[in-house]
């Protein structure tokens, strides 16, 4: 069960974890505020969440390309 929890936290909630680590706020509080905002605004923060997840993923690929010496050949 702990393995599943870690998988979900790193893959599904990576945006909330990254924001929490950067701002020094507990990840559970960020998730809680995100859920409340989604309910109150009828789901519009989900678009923001998806955009942040996309940018976070692209950033990972850009950093991997900079470290790869064969990328530029």
Which of 23, 12, 8 lies closest to 53, judged by CA?
12
* Cβ–Cβ under 8 Å, residues 58 and 15: no
Per-residue model confidence as pLDDT tens for the chain (73 residues): 678 777 766 666 678 777 888 888 888 888 888 888 888 888 788 888 778 878 877 777 777 766 666 655 5
Paired tokens of 63: 């950093």
Please provide the distance, in angstroms rounded to a whole number, between the alpha carbons at the two ends of the chain. 44
Helices (H), the chain: 2-11, 14-23, 27-40, 44-67
* Cβ–Cβ under 8 Å, residues 16 and 31: yes
């Amino acid at each position: 069960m702990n393995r599943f929890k870690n998988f979900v936290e790193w893959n599904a909630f990576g945006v909330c974890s990254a924001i929490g680590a950067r701002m020094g706020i507990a990840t559970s509080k960020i998730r809680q505020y995100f859920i409340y905002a989604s309910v109150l605004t009828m789901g519009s923060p989900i678009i923001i969440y998806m955009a942040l997840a996309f940018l976070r993923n692209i950033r990972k690929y850009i950093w991997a390309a900079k470290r790869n010496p064969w990328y530029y050949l």
